[in-house]
Amino acid sequence: MCKLIKMLFSAFLCVLIPILSAFAVVKTFTFFERANVELGFQHYAEKADPNTFLKMPANANCVNLGYGLVGLYWLWKVNRRKKKLRDKAFFYYVFAWMSMFYGLVQFGRIVTQTRLFAILDQWLTLPFFAWIVCWNEFMYRGYWQTSRYLFTLRVSVLSYFAVLCHDFAFDVLLGLHILAAVVYSIRTQHKPDLGTRKSLIFFYLALCSCAGFVFFKLADHYLTQYSIFQRFTGHFWSKVFDVAQIHFAANFFTSLAGQHNKGTK
């Protein structure tokens, strides 16, 4: 139990400290003023009421609760399977904490419409996919390799500074991160002693959820011509698919076969 609590707390700090560091950088320095981010309710198809706290109830409240709930679910599920998962539990814990913190950042972006939360929203998205790469590396190689994971995460975090160079840099970065996560997942799935029929199903579900997230986000305003998307808009459904993507990605790893020795290199 002590080891579990220590691992849970370590995962919490591994997520909290980088977020606070990013918050401090954006708050202290002015160079991110050049970053291209969408500010203002005109970028959302949902009708906003600036005089209310939530501004856009569906996008601010319902969706961001989803990030928190899926994070709590995986904390609970991993706690129940801690003996079977052992060291692998750390990857789930980090993923769950990232989901919960991302929900808070998204909520802050919706209700404040400030550059600070808009940048944090973009910045936090990249390590999500980088962590999938690290997770796949652990499952594929069968041992913990701290230097490799730290290098991957550092490259991911520092790559965000490319947004200072071009307006579409974040879109390119996000695309590359998604591609890396997909490629590494395919490699893991195709390893004979790892991939299962069940993990393949969850891989496709996560991939479809990712595609749904991108499609509904881009089609937000276009879809309002249909009555079904006027109350719960494309942006809302894009976030529903994003939450599903997190859930199915975690399920992908639980469905992999094989147990490895958890050494450190």
pLDDT tens string 101-113: 999 999 999 989 8
Let me know if 166 is exposed, middle or buried by CB neighbors in 10 A (0-12, 13-18, 19+): exposed
> 163-214, pLDDT tens digit by residue?
999 999 999 999 999 999 999 999 999 998 899 999 999 999 999 999 999 9
Whole-Å CA distances, 23 to 57, 65, 157, 160, 241: 25, 22, 13, 14, 26
In eight-state DSSP terms, residue 59 is: I
Strand partners, 144: 264
What is the reported pTM?
0.91
Which pLDDT value is given to residue 92? 94
Residue 207's contacts (CB-CB under 8 Å, 6 or more residues apart) are 182
Distance CA 63, CA 58 (A): 7
